[in-house]
Amino acid sequence: MNNRKKCLVSAIAISISTTPVAAQQTYELQNVFGLQVPSIGPSPQIWADRVELMSDGRISVNVHGAGDFVPPFEVFEAVSMGALDMGFDWIGYWADRIPVANLVGSMPFGPDPETFLAWMFEGGGLEIIQKAYDPHNVKILPCHLVLSEAGGWFNKEINSVEDLQGLNMRIAGLGARAVAELGANTMMIPAGEVYVSLERGRIDAAEFSLPQLDIGLGLYEVADYYYFPGWHQPASWDSILINMDVWNGLDESDQEIMQEACHAHIAYNLHDQLNAQMDAIEKIEESGVEIRRFPDDVLDALREASEQVIRQQATRDEIFNEAYESIRAYQERLNRWQELQYLPLD
């Protein structure tokens, strides 16, 4: 090797050895759900894998299951206080602290998934919601859009509004308040306890999520009827929660990586969910469970009760009201597009 080449090689070696290498950043995240629950269990890990890939390995997120650090319903508080760097949730779980989370987590007779998606990122939804999270020192990244749920599993037939009176039902969010208005006894039960509660007769009915998720909990083994539609939750959001001090400690490019990883993940889980429901419905039918739709008069009563509950909540919380008015206005504007695109059926 001549002297010129030797000098060039030496210069490159010195340059490589003195170039600073970005330190790896490692964070801890706890899922509200068990990691084996279909779709929502592995969801934060899939997001974390995308973050690691997009950051060339600089950012690592260790994902833990429900209860690994704190009980499931304490994840928000742990992230808020900084005991956890991050969490993954169903937004509606935090409605007692953040009323607008109820609207975004479960708006009865609310927007379909496409509309909810557009409102969140293009219609000002995220900006409104973040205002409610700021006092809690939490950054929210909407990261998993859940499709329209089922109406729930029942061990009693629902043929009229009167059949809801005295019904003991596991149901969350604003839907729980609406069905309570019609005489049902409602309660919140963690995902891991729904099966046993139905099996032992502690409850007469339970809603949880999509057929894909419901079948993963084995609910078809302990219920006689599976009702549709999911009036209480036509679409809803799960999110990544990040302690605000952790979020502010990230540079802008790393913040963007986490946000873009969520956008990619939403696209993935939409097609994944749609595909998975077909197999789930077929398996449920084969199990002998009777699949039904709620009677129209029951749905009409539930709609009326839901509107009453939402109006009451809107008078109590400014941000809830702002989000509700924003969603309704966005739906009205979007209706023009949908009317123009309507295709008549044969």
Are residue 102 and residue 164 in the same domain, yes or no?
A: no
Question: Which of 7 and 290 is assigned the larger pLDDT?
Answer: 290
State residue 11's pLDDT score. Answer: 40
The 3-state secondary structure of 124-183 reads CHHHHHHHHHHHHCEEEEEEEEECCCCCEEECCCCCCHHHHCCCEEECCHHHHHHHHHCC
Q: 201 lies in which domain range?
A: 152-233+284-330
Instruction: Give residue-wise pLDDT tens across range 253-286.
Output: 999 999 999 999 999 999 988 888 989 999 999 9
Q: What are phi and psi of 208, to 5 degrees?
A: -130, -65
In a domain? residue 169: yes
> CA 96: distance to chain centroid?
17
In a domain? residue 69: yes
Are residue 72 and residue 97 in the same domain, yes or no?
A: yes
| Tokens read off for 225 | 């009827």
Q: Give CA–CA dist 227/290, Å, rounded.
A: 8
Could you tell me the CATH number of the domain that includes residue 308?
Answer: 3.40.190.10
Are residue 160 and residue 68 in the same domain, yes or no?
A: no
Are residue 212 and residue 295 in the same domain, yes or no?
A: yes
In a domain? residue 91: yes
Are residue 245 and residue 120 in the same domain, yes or no?
A: yes
Are residue 253 and residue 121 in the same domain, yes or no?
A: yes
Q: Which residues pair with 87 in a beta bridge?
A: 30, 241
For the full predicted model, state whether its pTM sits above 0.75. Answer: yes
Are residue 225 and residue 240 in the same domain, yes or no?
A: no
In a domain? residue 338: no
- The structural domain count of the chain equals 2
> CA 259: distance to chain centroid?
16
Are residue 227 and residue 241 in the same domain, yes or no?
A: no
Q: What's the mean pLDDT when you consider all of the chain?
A: 91
Are residue 209 and residue 271 in the same domain, yes or no?
A: no
Q: Give CA–CA dist 232/299, Å, rounded.
A: 10
Are residue 157 and residue 42 in the same domain, yes or no?
A: no
Could you tell me the CATH number of the domain that includes residue 66?
Answer: 3.40.190.170
State residue 344's pLDDT score. Answer: 84
Are residue 295 and residue 246 in the same domain, yes or no?
A: no
Instruction: Give residue-wise pLDDT tens across range 91-100.
Output: 999 999 999 9
Q: CA neighbours within 13 Å on the CB side: how many for 46?
A: 18
User: Of 101, 163, 173, nearest to 131 (Cα)?
Assistant: 101
Are residue 205 and residue 313 in the same domain, yes or no?
A: yes
